[in-house]
Amino acid sequence: MFVVRKHSLQPKSKRRKRSSLSSFNDFVKRLQNNAARFKKHLTTLRDKTRNKLACLNDEKKKKKKLHLVLDLDHTLIHTVLVSDLSEREKYLLEEADSRQDLWRCNKDSPYEFIIKLRPFLHEFLLEANKLFTMHVYTMGNYCYAQDVLKLIDPDKVYFGNRVITREASPCNKTLDLLVADTRRVVIVDDTISVWPHHKRNLLQITKYIYFKVDGTKWESYAEGKKDESRKSGSLANVLKFLEDVHKRFEEDLDSKDLRLLIPYPCRQCCF
């Protein structure tokens, strides 16, 4: 029996060339696949490194996060009972509804009062919020503080629930009630005596007195229909100082104590 074998009609040289070309193509494909895997691996490593660095930066920022504690009365606002307005100040009762810096509270009540916002207050809060975690600390009661905050921070953008009132601190003010490192806290208050243990953190601001105070002979801002300067007033000056302190603290990578940047004894009454 004869077996007939099939033979390629192509010459052996051509078959070898095709086989070599196929091997070369396979080799190129393997290189391309390996390159793609390597590129993917590098991308993964890069992303992981970036995420790790971002986490480290966030952690560093948290460690260096600074806090700003603000008083209310005579620091950010001035409040007076309507019954205590002088005759020359009663025109304000008609203007309160049309002015953005003047508010009447508890209308038709024996304890109706009127609140005047200090000039530059909204700009101050907006800019300070970019640099600090802000807190309110007042010797007023909780209900009064909430009335004020509804006017200056209705959406809780600046202070959230970080509010300490006289119910928690009836006699003096203390940073022990804050969840913060005292070395990274600045206080802005018009009264030094209420901070017996934290004067190193304190920037004393001049008292804001818009309405007539009993016993004074001089004309009030309200009586003279004028006010503290917005551009060169106390809050504007305090903001400039706070921005400078924050910048210096951030630039000093080894800095741990913000209080070292605050003059002592405190002589910032010019604010």
What pLDDT score was predicted for residue 51? Answer: 62
Helix (H) or strand (E) holding 53: helix 12-63
- Mean local confidence (pLDDT), 45-74: 70
0.85 exceeded by pTM: no
**Got the DSSP string for 117-170?**
EPTTHHHHHHHHTTTEEEEEE-SS-HHHHHHHHHHH-TT-SSSTT-EE-TTT-S
Confidence check: pLDDT of 58 > 60: no
Q: In which band, very low, low, confident or very high, does the pLDDT at 20 lie, cut at 50, 70 and 90?
A: low
Confidence check: pLDDT of 17 > 70: no
